Structure 1
Amino acid sequence: MSSKSIKTGALQQKPKAGLRFLALYQIVGGILGIALTLWVLFRGELVVTQQVLRISLFAAGLFVFSILCGRMLFRNARRGLVLSLINQVLQVVYFTFGAYGFQYVAGLRLGVGIDMIGSWTFKFRLAISSFQLEAGTDTGQKLIGINLVALCLIFWIERLLEQVKKADSL
């Protein structure tokens, strides 16, 4: 066995384990997000209007996208990584400014943010799969944050993408 085939084999094993972990993370995060969305809708504390249904369908669409990203990693690593990158970019920044807000997490969020009401206060937040969209409902909040888990995953996905491209070119 030549040293080139040994290096190629080692290079292929490392991305496969990372791809498998990332795929399972996104699939579990998406399934958990759909389950939590259904739980919030049907636990009886929320009046289900057309607007609530539309927002819930949008949230479910994002969670399904996360599941599809995970599945794609098993079928076509390069395409799956590109879709996973898009999925994580959607999760990096979360914000609420008066009547508008957005937060999407399919998996885990370890957030660092700044609350700008009154004095500027640093906030640390931990969450599992969740979705929040506010438009037209003034909450009086001014908050912007960064999901550190999604940010780290973006860097890791880029590294995995380079490894997959390198393995494909050998």
Structure 2
Amino acid sequence: MSTKNQLLALALYQIIGGLLGIALTVWVMFGQDTTVTLPALRLSLVAGGLYLFSILCGRLLLRQPGRGLRFSLLNQVLQVLLFSFGTYGYQYVAGLRLSVGVDMVGGWVFKFRMALSSFHFSLDSDLGQKYIGLNLVALFLIFWMERLLEKVRT
């Protein structure tokens, strides 16, 4: 596959992942019988900002490949680690998540999880979870982008 086609595939992945994330966030916030609180609205704006960043990374890949790859690497790094310990939790995925991790609530249980664009952030709200995982799709994309960045630089 040519470098141009690889950049196009990455751009489409990031744009579609960001659009899907925004759509799911709006659906969760307003598509159900949910009371929208100020903290929930703030977190939704943070999630929307991250999904918008993914869309912008995709567009930048098409216009300025070198710069787009650097920003896209940052976007994927933000998606590699997901965790929930005590009152703290973080998960951001714009696109596809295939993750492996360890759930430590009732012992050490290895888990394989799959999801589409998702966002979770918790601070000072004990969910009773103890989980740490790695998004394998984000790791794969980071390695792929590193190789593409070397090709674009030469």
1:127 paired to 2:115: yes
Distance 1:149 1:76 in 2: 23
User: Could you tell me which amino acid in structure 1 is paired with residue 15 of structure 2?
Assistant: I
* Structure 2 counterpart of 1:34, from 8, 22, 35: 22
* Structure 2 counterpart of 1:107, from 89, 95, 99: 95
Distance 2:69 2:38 in 1: 35
Tell me the alpha carbon deviations over residues 124-158 of structure 1, each in whole angstroms, 9 at most, x when there is no partner.
10000010111111011000000000000000000
User: Could you tell me which amino acid in structure 2 is paired with residue 99 of structure 1?
Assistant: T
For structure 1, the residue ranges without an aligned partner over 5 or more in a row are 1-12
Map of 1:158 onto structure 2: 146
Distance 2:48 2:60 in 1: 18
The Cα RMSD (Å) is 0.9
Alignment of 1:138-149 (within 5 A): 138-149=126-137
* Structure 2 counterpart of 1:116, from 104, 119, 124: 104
Distance 1:62 1:78 in 2: 21
Distance 2:32 2:142 in 1: 37
TM-score by length of structure 1 reads: 0.89
SS in 2 for 1:33: helix
1:91 paired to 2:57: no
Q: How much identity, in percent, do the aligned residues show?
A: 62
For structure 2, the residue ranges without an aligned partner over 5 or more in a row are none
Distance 1:57 1:135 in 2: 16
TM-score by length of structure 2 reads: 0.98
Distance 2:33 2:133 in 1: 28
User: Could you tell me which amino acid in structure 1 is paired with residue 20 of structure 2?
Assistant: L
1:112 to partner: Cα distance:
0.2
Query: Which has a greater percent of helix?
Result: 1
User: Could you tell me which amino acid in structure 2 is paired with residue 18 of structure 1?
Assistant: Q
Equivalent pairs counted in the alignment come to: 154
Query: 4+ residue runs of structure 1 moved beyond 3 angstroms?
Result: none
Q: Larger Cα Rg: Structure 1 or Structure 2?
A: 1
